[in-house]
Amino acid sequence: MKVVGSINMDVVVEVERAPEAGETVLGSDYRLHPGGKGANQAVAAARLGAAVEMIGCLGRDAYGDTLYGTLRGEGLILDNLQRVTQPTGAAFITVDQDGQNRIVVSPGANAVLTSARLPSDLERTDWLLMQLEVPLDTVRMAASRVRNGGGRVVLNAAPATVLPAELLEALDYLVVNETEAGELLGGPAPADFEQALQAAERLRGADSTTIVTLGDRGAVWAAPAGSGQVEAYTVAVVDTTACGDSFVGTLVWALSENEPLEQAMKLANAAGALTATRAGAQPSLPDLNELRRFASI
């Protein structure tokens, strides 16, 4: 499996409530956690046993040094992780007393992951996982190359943006949350399972599958062979950071292990719920033993 995506240092502050416009609130001491949607999803899959190559860019700075060491410690293949002159990407995150987060991302080095920096052997990829925290043209080119080589392409369209037709046609799986689904369709977020299923049907291609996650309400899918839904697990939420990334990384790991889609969805849903019970992005991602105990598999 290859992951083309972002690598960030997360700067996290806990607050009683998020500030209103023009307001200042006091928070906790800040904490630094390794993050970025690409890196989070790569680590999520690797902790479950997948062989994962991370393709991205880090700055030649202290954050970059720390994150490189963290990813190497997770067992990721880093042959095509490049060090650049731009500062390492960073995300600034507030977490309120209900565990809900608000995130501002400074792309930094992620913005220079151009299509020219993609590895020459990309066509030999079996599973490619991407997000939208790196340039859209890079995502489009990577998807096209892997699809032409016979590999499977998964896109977590976050943050949401208009997706070119060429990219949509190259996808095997599109994964979005309810807010992103609404943005892609130019309307409100789906409010329940029925609306989410309708959104998934509208977003999927003739030969592709679309998955819409609904947070603490579960998730739905629409595929060429049919549609379905999985209920959420009830947990005590500590921090929702990286729950979606945990879901996506686990989903692709399960699919790459030839799990049926419904079982892969259940495992992904369990991983996302388990992630919500712990603080931080990558520190909260479960390993395979934890996932098996939690999901009773």
Residue 113 lies in a domain: no
Residue 60 lies in a domain: yes
Residue 112 lies in a domain: no
Span 2-31, average pLDDT: 93
pLDDT at 103 over 90: no
Least-confidence region, from 36-45, 120-129, 232-241: 232-241
pLDDT at 157 over 70: yes
Rounded Cα distance, 276 and 63, in Å = 25
Span 97-108, average pLDDT: 88
Which is catalytic among the residues 10, 172, 239, 245? 245
**pLDDT tens-digit series, residues 170-225:** 999 999 999 999 999 999 999 999 999 999 999 999 899 999 999 889 999 999 99
Rounded Cα distance, 297 and 295, in Å = 6
Reported pTM:
0.93
Would residue 287 show up in a list of annotated catalytic residues for this protein? Answer: no
Tokens 């712990």 belong to 278
Rounded Cα distance, 36 and 67, in Å = 10
52 touches 76 (CB < 8 A): yes
> For residue 297, what pLDDT is reported?
64
**pLDDT tens-digit series, residues 43-73:** 999 999 999 999 999 999 999 999 999 999 9
Q: Which residues pair with 130 in a beta bridge?
A: 4, 155
13 touches 37 (CB < 8 A): no
Residue 94 lies in a domain: yes
Task: Provide the 8-state DSSP code for 159.
Answer: S
163 touches 184 (CB < 8 A): yes
Domain count, the chain: 1
Span 133-160, average pLDDT: 97
> For residue 283, what pLDDT is reported?
87
176 touches 212 (CB < 8 A): yes
> For residue 239, what pLDDT is reported?
83
Span 25-48, average pLDDT: 95
Span 75-96, average pLDDT: 96
Span 153-182, average pLDDT: 96
Residue 228 pLDDT level (bands cut at 50, 70, 90):
very high
CATH of the domain at 269: 3.40.1190.20
- Domain carrying residue 38: 2-19+27-107+118-295
> For residue 99, what pLDDT is reported?
82
